[in-house]
Structure 1
Amino acid sequence: MLPAPKEDTNWTVASAKARLSQVIERAQSSPQTITRNGKPSVVVVSAEEWERKTARKGTLAEFLLDSPLRGVDLDLERLRDEPRDLPL
């Protein structure tokens, strides 16, 4: 027996409005793209997927401490140029 064809994940605004319940149901298993004028406009995902994607993965301090540039001796020199004249 052949596997069922993959359900389409693209919707026009009109079809998404007409079948919002179906869009929401399908979004529970895979992201659903809604197009406007033939171009992707928004993506509908499950609340669980949204939480997973937006969950904080540590603090800024932890990110900086884990940087591969930590400990690299960079020679950063500040330019001491005169300020430029701006028209009034």
Structure 2
Amino acid sequence: MLSASRDDPSWTVARAKARLSEVIERAQSAPQTITRNGKPSVVVVSAEEWQRKTARKGTLAEFLLESPLRGAELDLGRLRDEPHDLPR
């Protein structure tokens, strides 16, 4: 059975359930991976880390203005095909 040691942040589902408090405590300093059937299934991270990873990093307009394609001469024309009947 896979078990988490101080050097290995991997836990089986059964061990993580039995030692949830320890998983949470250790996730405060490093992500903890929970495996199912020997394969990584989920990663437990601290709320602080989750906020940092999911925080918005600007607006869509800022993203588009910083695009490496800005100023590129792209042909963005659409084909004007006739509508097609779709099968029901």
| TM tier, smaller | 0.7 to 0.9
Q: Matches of 2:17 and 2:6 in 1, distance apart? A: 22
* Correspondence for 2:87: 87
TM-score by length of 2: 0.84
1:41 aligns with 2:19: no
Which residues in structure 2 correspond to 1:8-87 (within 5 Å)?
Answer: 8-87=8-87
Task: Provide the aligned length of Structure 1 versus Structure 2.
Answer: 84
* Structure 1 segments unaligned to the other structure (5+ residues): none
Instruction: Work out which of the two has the higher radius of gyration on C-alpha atoms and give 1 or 2.
Output: 1
Q: Matches of 1:55 and 1:36 in 2, distance apart? A: 29
CA deviation vs aligned residue, 1:13-55 (integer Å, no higher than 9, x gap): 1100111111111111110011112221111001111111011
* Structure 2 segments unaligned to the other structure (5+ residues): none
Aligned-partner SS, 2:7: coil
Report percent identity of matched pairs. 82
TM-score by length of 1: 0.84
